[in-house]
Amino acid sequence: MNAPQTPDRSLIPEATRAARVQKVVSKNGIEAWLVEDYAVPLVAMEFALDGGSSQDGAGKMGATAMLAGLMDEGAGELDAAAFHNAMDDKAIEISFSSDSDTFHGRLKTMTRHVEAAFGLLKLAINAPRFDTDAIERTRAQMLASLRAEANDPDAMAAKAWREAAFPDHPYGRPARGTQESVSAIMREDLVILHRALMQRTGLKIAVVGAIDRDSLALLMDDVFSGLPESTTLGVVPDVILTGLGTRKIIDVDVPQATIRFGLPGIGLHDPDHIPGMVLNHILGGGVFSARLFKEVREKRGLAYSVHSQLVTYRHTATFVGGTSTKNERAAESLCVIEDEIAKLAADGPSVDELDKAQKYLIGSYDLRFDTSTKIAGQLVRLQIENLPVTYLDERNSYVAGVTLADTHRVAQRLFTGKQMLVAVAGRPVGM
């Protein structure tokens, strides 16, 4: 990450977050980032493992999502009901989820129950049961959700855009699978996937709350040291978004057209990433001052909401956005969006737009740290993204150091000479 250029120190709060983070290494080499906080007798933990839905086989899409749904559905000697009762009796929260590249686990417990909570987590990670009734219950829930999505224009547009953007790549596949792939997932598939994902290589842990480093080290060894150190994950190649200039129309008999659009983005460790984040906030960052909100909603009443964002994956980066509007005004809406992007590329933002974006992005950063769970999540995110703990204090300096020249340069880099990949679900007129 490049150093900020002449940051406005008046915009930057006192740097205190990084100093509170301790790096704890257990006897068996398990590492965690710890923030001790005894204001409330509570402990929150988040951890992440390499491998997400990108590890699903072509015919087994949705397997990682199903695995996440099953990890707390019975473990060791406890079936699903007994496991849930053990959590409920002590108000312990344990959950699992996955994204494209990562498998996540979360725990929250009162300090007096920390040993019981970590004991249940150890069972869930090391000895999930994958009982037949739990598998079929989870499968039924996933299939019901997929049936609902089959008639959801937003889900249909997103699917079409993703498939066009990343054909023949795991990122182009539906993370929660299809009716056919979810129906085809067998218990043995889950056992094999669990064995591949549950490994110490790439393990990231963050803990926040009323626990000291020595106690945490012992608990980490108990929970994680039994996992293998090597990994059997499949290789996921880097990929660049394709299909630029293409418009995919999914015919759906609904009064509104749902639009997804996008371009290649900027990687997390690219020097232009922070200027790109500021630029996107100005364009379509989900606030009332964003250009797309003003032009699409306020001035023309074309849509209730419109947004854009920079999205980074481990193997690619994208600029994406979307809106929904009446079919007869879909072409106009997309034209307005493209015009605003072209104007931003040609002229860059104004001084006032840059000032408002910086103040918002700096001021709102504190909201990512207002609970123990959020803090743990942010610390794990830094580890996943290979950013130093000092980024907690430096991030706002980077935002404050962005100049108009930076945003104009990045706008030209992102938008000049490129036609967006667009997917529309509905019956848009004139497209």
What tokens appear for 393 in the block? 């204090």
Residue type, 150: A
Report whether 340 contacts 287 (CB < 8 A).
Answer: no
Report the chain's terminal Cα–Cα distance, integer Å.
41
Contacts 24+ apart (CB under 8 A), 8-12: 8/358, 8/400, 9/400, 11/358, 11/359, 11/362, 11/396, 11/399, 11/400, 12/362, 12/396, 12/397, 12/400
Q: What is the pLDDT of residue 12?
A: 44
Q: Are 123 and 78 in contact (CB under 8 A)?
A: yes
Q: Is the CB of residue 282 less than 8 Å from the CB of residue 361?
A: no
Residues of the chain with pLDDT under 70: 1-15
Q: Which one, of 429, 369, 371, 361, lies nearest residue 395 by Cα? A: 361
Which helix H or strand E contains 181, and what residues bound it? helix 179-184
Q: What pLDDT score does 10 carry?
A: 45
| Extents of the domains making up the chain | 37-224, 247-426
Q: What is the CATH number of domain 37-224?
A: 3.30.830.10
What pLDDT, on a 0 to 100 scale, did the predictor assign at position 57? 85
C-alpha–C-alpha distance, residues 278 and 363, integer Å: 13
User: Does residue 322 contact residue 260 with C-beta atoms inside 8 Å?
Assistant: yes
pTM of the model as a whole: 0.92
pLDDT tens track for 378-412: 999 999 999 999 999 999 999 999 999 999 999 99
In contact, 419 and 262? CB cutoff 8 Å: no
Cα–Cα distance, 307 to 138 (Å, whole number): 33
In this predicted structure, what is the pLDDT of residue 50?
A: 94
Contact yes or no for 304/297 (Cβ under 8 A) = yes
Cα-based distances in Å from 25 to 31, 109, 205, 215: 4, 22, 11, 11
Q: Do the Cβ atoms of 291 and 344 come closer than 8 Å?
A: yes
- Token pair in block for residue 169: 């790549």
Where is 308: in which H helix or E strand?
strand 306-312
- From the list 46, 51, 136, the residue with the least C-alpha distance to 99 is 51
The residues with which 403 forms a beta bridge, in sequence order, are none
Comparing 37-224 with 247-426, is the CATH topology the same?
A: yes
Q: Do residues 313 and 171 touch, judged by C-beta distance below 8 A? A: yes
- Amino acid code (one letter) for 98: S
Q: What is the pLDDT of residue 394?
A: 96
Distances (CA, A) of 4 to 18, 139, 312, 388, 398: 18, 49, 21, 16, 5
Fold (topology level) of 247-426: Cytochrome Bc1 Complex; Chain A, domain 1 (3.30.830)
Q: Report yes or no: 187 and 130 within 8 Å, Cβ to Cβ.
A: yes
d(CA 60, CA 58): 6
pLDDT in tens, 141-190: 999 999 999 999 999 999 999 999 999 999 999 999 999 999 999 999 99
